[in-house]
Amino acid sequence: MAKKPILLVVMDGVGFSKTGLGDAVSLANTPTLDYLLANYPNVRLKAHGSAVGLPSDDDMGNSEVGHNAIGCGQIYSQGAKLVNESIESGKMFKSNAWAEVVNNVKEHDSTLHFIGLLSDGNVHSNISHLIAMLKAAKNDGVKEVRIHILLDGRDVPATSALIYVDQLENALKELNDSSFNGLIASGGGRMKITMDRYQANWKMVEEGWKTHVQGEGRFFPSATSAITTYREENPGVIDQDLPAFVIGKENAPVGKMHDNDSVILFNFRGDRAIELSMAFDQDGFNKFNKAYNPKVVYAGLLQYDGDLQLPKRFLVAPPEIHNTLTEVMVENGVNEFAISETQKYGHVTYFWNGNRTEKFSQELETYVEIPSDKVSFDERPWMKSAEITDRLIEELKSHKYGFLRVNFPNGDMVGHTGSLPATICSMEALDLALARLLAVAKKEGYTMLVTADHGNADEMLEKNKKGEITVRTAHSLNPVPFIIVDDDNKYEFVEGNYGLANIAPTVVKMMGFKIPASWEKPMIK
C-alpha cells in the first residue's frame, strides 16, 4: 500500500435512516455522496449508546462524545454514564465541591440554586440527576432550594416540556416539608437563553443571567402557567424557542440569587455550559455587564473545560483520555490541519483531542475557525460550507499536511431547527462541498475518508404515542457512513461490528504507524 496523506471529512448529523420519516439525506439531491457510497468501500458505524460510552443503546449520540471517540480511538464512560456511576457509588456526594456548596448554604442559612436543561435526553442533562441531588441536599441539611429550568424540545420531543415540569413538581411535593422548601424559580427555551456555545451569542447568556440570577423578566405563578401561556401566544412554537419566564409572588421573584448562595449547573455536557460558567466563575469576566453580581459558590456537574479550569469546582471528575490520535500523529512528526466553522470548531479541536484546549504541538498542529453566521440556521442552511471548502482546498494544494480533518455542521445544526426543507437544502450544500473536495483530493494524491459523528438530518419526523407524525429535532439512533476514497489503494474491510472509535486505528494503520494497545481495532485488512 502506498502511504498517502489523509483527508477526513465529518458530515455532522448525517446517518442512514431506518424509518424513512423525514429523511432529508435521502430526499436531498446528493449525487456526490451517492456516487461515493456506490463506488468505494464503505461500512456503517454505530454512533450512539455503548459505542460512544453512553449508558445504553437507547441513548442517542452527540457531537461531543462522537468526536471524543473518533479522535481518541477508545471508548470512555461519558456524560450521563459517568454521572450515573458517580451517583450510584455515592462518590458525587463525597466530593469536595458538593461539600463546599452544601456547607456554604448551611453556614449562611442561604439558598442552593440548580440551573440546567430539564429533560431526560441524556445529551446535555438528565432530570434523574437533578432529583438525586435534591434528595441528597435535603439529607445533608439544606433548607432552601430554587431550580432554574431550561426547556429542551431538541433532544426529546419538541413539545414535551410539561412532562418534565410535572415530574419535577411531583418530586418536590414529596420532598417539601417543614425542613425543606424547593421551588422552580425561572426558566426559558434552551435556544433563547443561557445555553449558547462557542461564544456565538452572548446575549443569550446575558438574558439567562437576568432571568436566573437577577429574577428579572415576565412573571408567572408557575412554570406550567408560563409554558401554556407562551404556547397560546405563539402557535407552533417548540420548547427550545419559548421565551424566558420568572416565577414570582406579588411581583417578587421566588428565586433571585443573593450573596452567599450556592449554585450548581446540572448539565453534564460541556459546550453549552462553558459560557454560563465563565459568567459565574471567571476572573475579569467582561462579555456583558453584570449589573447585579452576587457572590456565590458555583459548581458544575462536570468540569466543562479542563484547560481553562471552568468551573473551578465540579462534582464529577472527567474521564482521563490519553493516547489520542493527535498524540500519535505528533509522535510521528505528522503535520495536522483542523477546520470548521464556529458551531463545530471545538469538536475538531477540543473534543477531538480528548477534552483538551491546548495543542499537543504548536509546530505540528494548525487550527482554523470560520466564524458562523449569527442567524437561525434554517435561514442560511448552507452555513459556511463554501468558505470552509475554499480554505481546505488551499491547504490540500499546499501539501503541507499529512492529516487534515474537517467538520461540516450543516446536517446537525439545520436539522435541529426542525425544518425539513431547510435541512434538505443543507444536505445539498454539503454535497457540493464533497464534490469540490473529491476532485482536489484525487488530483493532489490524498486518501479521502468520509464519515459522520451521529445521525440527525436522516430522521426529521417521528410518530408520537398517538401514531401522529410530528417534527423531530433530536439526534437519531441511526448508523453513520465510513467511506474510503482511494483509487490507488484497494482497501478491504474486515468483517465486524464497528463504531466511531474504530476510525482512529484505521487511520493509523493506513499511515503505517503503531496502534496504541488501548485502542479499538482497525477496520481494514
> Which residue in 287, 354, 311, 380 sits closest to 519, CA to CA?
354
Within 8 A by CB and 6+ apart from 457, the residues are 13, 14, 15, 24, 25, 410, 411, 412, 414, 415, 423, 426, 427
- R_g of the chain, CA atoms, integer Å: 23
Distance CA 246, CA 185 (A): 6
Phi, psi of 48 (to 5 degrees): -145, 175
Q: Are residues 348 and 460 in the same domain?
A: yes
Neighbours of 83 (CB within 10 A): 25
Within 8 A by CB and 6+ apart from 213, the residues are 256, 257, 290, 292, 293, 294
Cα dihedral: 462, 463, 469, 472 (round 10): -30
Q: Report CA 487 to chain centroid distance, whole Å.
A: 35
149 forms bridges with which residues in the sheet?
A: 116, 187
Give the active site residues.
63
Element (H, E) at 484: strand 480-485
Q: Are residues 239 and 292 in the same domain?
A: yes
Q: Report the pLDDT value the prediction gives residue 79, as an integer from 0 to 100.
A: 82
3-state secondary structure 343-380: HHHHHHHHHCCCCCCCCCCCCCEEEEEECCCCCCCCCC
Distance CA 54, CA 57 (A): 8
Q: Which amino acid would we find at residue 53?
A: G
- 131 domain-assigned: yes
Q: What are the start-end ranges of the E strands in 296-453?
A: 297-302, 314-316, 336-341, 365-370, 403-408, 447-451
Q: Are residues 347 and 226 in the same domain?
A: no
Q: Are residues 204 and 154 in the same domain?
A: yes
Q: Report the pLDDT value the prediction gives residue 318, as an integer from 0 to 100.
A: 73
Q: Report the pLDDT value the prediction gives residue 271, as an integer from 0 to 100.
A: 84
Which 3 state secondary structure label does DSSP give 504?
helix
Which of 96-119 are b and which e, b meaning 16 or more Cβ less than 10 Å from the residue's Cβ? ebbeebbebbeeeebbbbbbbbbb
> Which grid coordinates are listed for 511?
499511515
Which of 467-487 are b and which e, b meaning 16 or more Cβ less than 10 Å from the residue's Cβ? eeeebbbbbbbbbbbbbbbbe
Range of the domain at 378: 6-40+321-481
Q: Are residues 207 and 308 in the same domain?
A: yes
What CATH number did the domain enclosing 206 receive? 3.40.1450.10
Q: Are residues 17 and 110 in the same domain?
A: no
- 306 domain-assigned: yes
- 59 domain-assigned: no
> Which residue in 337, 453, 457 sits closest to 398, CA to CA?
337
Q: Are residues 122 and 263 in the same domain?
A: yes
Q: Are residues 123 and 200 in the same domain?
A: yes
Q: Which amino acid would we find at residue 212?
A: H
Q: Are residues 89 and 155 in the same domain?
A: yes
Contact call for residues 1 and 489 (beta carbons, < 8 A): yes
- 56 domain-assigned: no
- 490 domain-assigned: no
Last residue of a domain, one of 481, 496, 514: 481
Last residue of a domain, one of 286, 316, 346: 316
Element (H, E) at 249: strand 245-249
Which of 360-385 are b and which e, b meaning 16 or more Cβ less than 10 Å from the residue's Cβ? beeebbbebbbebeeeebbebbbbbb
What CATH number did the domain enclosing 365 receive? 3.40.720.10
Last residue of a domain, one of 316, 346, 373: 316
pLDDT by residue, tens only, the chain of 525 residues: 568 999 999 999 999 999 999 999 999 999 999 999 999 999 999 999 999 998 888 888 999 899 999 999 999 988 888 999 999 999 999 999 999 999 999 999 999 999 999 999 998 999 999 999 999 999 999 999 999 999 999 999 999 999 999 999 999 999 999 999 999 999 999 999 999 987 889 999 999 999 999 999 999 999 999 999 999 999 999 999 999 999 998 889 999 999 999 999 999 988 899 999 999 999 999 999 999 999 999 999 998 876 578 999 999 987 779 999 999 999 999 999 999 999 999 999 999 999 888 999 999 999 999 999 989 999 999 999 999 999 999 999 999 999 999 999 999 999 999 999 999 999 999 999 999 999 999 999 999 999 999 999 999 999 877 788 989 988 999 999 999 999 999 999 999 999 999 999 999 999 999 999 999 999 999
Total structural domains within the chain: 2
Q: Are residues 326 and 305 in the same domain?
A: no
- 270 domain-assigned: yes
Q: Are residues 22 and 85 in the same domain?
A: no
Predicted TM-score (pTM) of the model is 0.78
Q: Which amino acid would we find at residue 443?
A: K
Q: Report the pLDDT value the prediction gives residue 2, as an integer from 0 to 100.
A: 65
Contact call for residues 392 and 110 (beta carbons, < 8 A): no
- 520 domain-assigned: no
Q: Are residues 298 and 368 in the same domain?
A: no
What contacts 24+ positions apart, CB below 8 Å, involve 169-175? Answer: 169/223, 169/224, 171/131, 171/134, 172/134, 175/134, 175/135, 175/138
- 353 domain-assigned: yes
Q: Report CA 154 to chain centroid distance, whole Å.
A: 11
> Which residue in 209, 301, 292 sits closest to 258, CA to CA?
292
Which 3 state secondary structure label does DSSP give 310?
strand
